[in-house]
């Protein structure tokens, strides 16, 4: 009797690695996670040791492989995902030359301006890549290393994104995929290939760039020595995979252009798929190649979505944390119930969730949080309600920035920790004016999407669209029809508040020492 097929997804997150196996019906067979540190040697720097990722992959994969074997499954393929934009530099022998510079590292900001200037400004640059060069992207990091660590740059033979280092360790192959390549800022997103003329203009050797493939394409097989260490048979194929911001939409089943994907974690991500290339409408939206051939994805990121609620909890609601532990519940669950007791709009309160600046729709490092409109009548629950609403309004503001792309949203797929909150689900439905759906796989993160992509590559499913049909709906929430118009009116108040405070935020920055 032959063994049942399954596929594995590996997600190299910023704080941890998650490895997961699913069967041909989309059911999770096994999963495991392991944490690793982030290093900040200087203010604004953010680095990790790629070998920390590899050790986490080995420990989690061994655990998953053991459970897969125990349940009589056979691993037919491995898919990869992880944090985007990171810079891993390898020498000709495949040795890591320095710690990986992460997506949230700010040191390369001056080089972004330099890159734009070399091509004649941001608009000219967007004509090449359909995105501006952001400090988080890989391109500016390459120039920073070339100028500040020339002895390391001279030894560099290839650069890789984080998940692609794991591919190299598994297979010995040097490759990336079109989604992660899009996030380097050096990729022709329309033609789905490296922007060779741009790379030449920047004086970067093209030999430094890895092969770029579509997400479902096979990029090698697990080497015999590695397979023995992981507890699997050698020769298991490893597929292209993709960057986490893209692949997690696959794991949510949000691959149809009419479905808007919102991930509500520490940050907030609003994403939509397109079956044809579209011109990027602005500097704060990312428009990348999607994890499906002849498909693209647009998304915008807010920096402190769930992070704003955590700030409120840690600053003003520490008692809920203790009560929640005593009750065996989540402190966020209790906060949601308290906020639901308050009136809509917190009886006239506006909360701006820009606690660490903002990326989209306002590319403004000086933006800060604000609570406007409170008085003697305001209660703590009013404050709390306004935080919930302000977070959702910030995500709706991202959608407004994406409207020139011609979106026609019929459904929202909500994932991340915030998706567990009935209040968040209802607020999204009402403020966006659309049904909100959560799915069983929504809490699995990018590893589930990476496994689906591996399943397509391995032939378990014919396409990603075919594969996501197996994803099970968990909850469905419809808008409060009577409140849609009122929330729409208050949304304009929310947007006007930032405009009124923008210059004040900049003035306040000099006092934040």
> Would you name the residues annotated as active-site residues?
244
Residue 85 assigned to a binding site: yes
Nearest to 104, CA basis, from 155, 43, 152 = 43
Are 219 and 77 in contact by the 8 Å Cβ rule? The answer is: no
Residue 498 C-alpha from the chain's centroid: 25
Running DSSP on this structure, what letter comes out for residue 476?
E
Containing 389, the helix (H) or strand (E) segment is helix 380-402
Task: Give the DSSP per-residue string, 332-348.
Answer: HHHHHHHHHHSPGGGGT
Residue 84 assigned to a binding site: yes
Q: Give the whole-angstrom CA distance, residue 390 versus residue 412.
A: 18
Q: Give the whole-angstrom CA distance, residue 321 versus residue 330.
A: 8
Which distant-in-sequence residues (6+ apart) come within 8 Å of 322 by Cβ? Answer: none
Q: Identify the three-state secondary structure at position 295.
A: coil
Running DSSP on this structure, what letter comes out for residue 244?
H
Nearest to 74, CA basis, from 32, 29, 33 = 29
Task: Give the DSSP per-residue string, 5-58.
Answer: EEEEEEEE-SSEEEEEEEETTS-EEEEEEEE---B-SSTT--EE-HHHHHHHHH
Strand partners, 270: 262, 300
Q: Give the whole-angstrom CA distance, residue 219 versus residue 207.
A: 18
Other Cβ atoms within 10 Å of 239 Cβ, number:
27
Other Cβ atoms within 10 Å of 341 Cβ, number:
11
Main-chain phi, psi angles of 460, to 5 degrees: -70, -40
Q: Give the whole-angstrom CA distance, residue 269 versus residue 280.
A: 17
Long-range CB pairs of 425-429, under 8 A, 24+ apart, other chains included: 425/475, 425/477, 426/477, 426/480, 427/388, 427/389, 427/392, 428/262, 428/392, 428/395, 428/477, 429/477, 429/478, 429/479, 429/480
Checking DSSP bridges between strand 435-439 and strand 411-415, what pairing results, if any? parallel
Binding-site annotation: residue ranges for substrate: 84-85
């Amino acid at each position: 009797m032959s063994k049942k097929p399954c596929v594995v997804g590996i997600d190299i997150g910023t704080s941890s690695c998650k490895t997961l196996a699913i069967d041909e019906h989309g059911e999770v067979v096994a999963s495991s996670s392991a944490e690793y540190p982030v290093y900040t040697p200087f203010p604004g720097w953010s680095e990790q040791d790629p070998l920390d990722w590899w050790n986490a992959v080995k420990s989690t994969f061994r655990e998953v492989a053991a459970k897969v074997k125990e349940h009589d499954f056979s691993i037919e393929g491995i898919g990869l995902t992880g944090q985007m934009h990171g810079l891993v530099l390898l020498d000709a022998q495949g040795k890591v030359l320095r710690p990986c510079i992460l997506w949230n590292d700010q040191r390369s900001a001056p080089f972004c301006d330099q890159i734009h200037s070399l091509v004649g400004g941001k608009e000219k640059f967007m004509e090449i890549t359909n995105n501006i060069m952001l400090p988080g992207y890989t391109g500016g990091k390459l120039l920073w290393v070339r100028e500040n660590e020339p002895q390391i740059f001279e030894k560099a033979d290839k650069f890789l994104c984080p998940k692609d280092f794991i591919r190299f360790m598994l297979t010995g192959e040097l490759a990336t995929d079109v989604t992660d390549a899009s996030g380097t800022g050096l990729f022709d997103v329309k033609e789905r290939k490296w922007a060779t003329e741009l790379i030449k203009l920047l004086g970067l050797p093209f030999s430094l760039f890895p092969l770029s493939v579509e997400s479902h394409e096979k990029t090698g097989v697990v080497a015999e020595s590695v397979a023995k260490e992981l507890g699997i048979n050698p020769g298991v194929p490893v597929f292209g995979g993709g960057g986490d911001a893209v692949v997690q939409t696959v794991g949510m089943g949000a691959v149809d252009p009419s479905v808007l994907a919102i991930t509500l974690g520490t940050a907030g991500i609003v994403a939509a798929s397109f079956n044809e290339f579209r011109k990027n409408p602005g500097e704060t939206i990312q428009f990348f190649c999607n994890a499906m051939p002849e498909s693209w994805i647009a998304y915008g990121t807010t920096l402190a979505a769930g992070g704003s609620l955590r700030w409120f909890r840690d600053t003003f609601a520490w008692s809920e944390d203790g009560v929640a532990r005593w009750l065996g519940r989540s402190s966020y669950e209790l906060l949601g119930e308290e906020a639901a007791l308050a009136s809509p709009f917190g009886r006239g309160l506006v909360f701006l969730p820009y606690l660490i600046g903002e990326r989209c729709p306002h590319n403004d490092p000086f933006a800060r949080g604000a609570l406007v409109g409170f008085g003697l009548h305001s209660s703590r629950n009013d404050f709390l309600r306004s935080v919930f609403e302000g977070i959702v309004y910030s995500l709706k503001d991202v959608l407004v920035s994406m409207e020139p792309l011609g979106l026609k949203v019929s459904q929202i797929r909500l994932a991340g920790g915030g998706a567990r909150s009935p209040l968040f689900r209802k607020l999204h439905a009402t403020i966006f004016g659309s049904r909100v759906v959560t799915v069983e796989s929504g809490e699995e993160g990018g590893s589930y999407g990476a496994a689906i992509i591996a399943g397509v590559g391995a032939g378990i499913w014919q396409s990603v669209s075919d594969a996501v049909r197996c994803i099970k709906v968990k909850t469905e929430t419809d808008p409060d029809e009577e409140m849609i118009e009122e929330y729409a009116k208050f949304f304009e108040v929310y947007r006007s508040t930032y405009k009124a405070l923008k210059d004040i935020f900049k003035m306040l920055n000099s006092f934040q020492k």
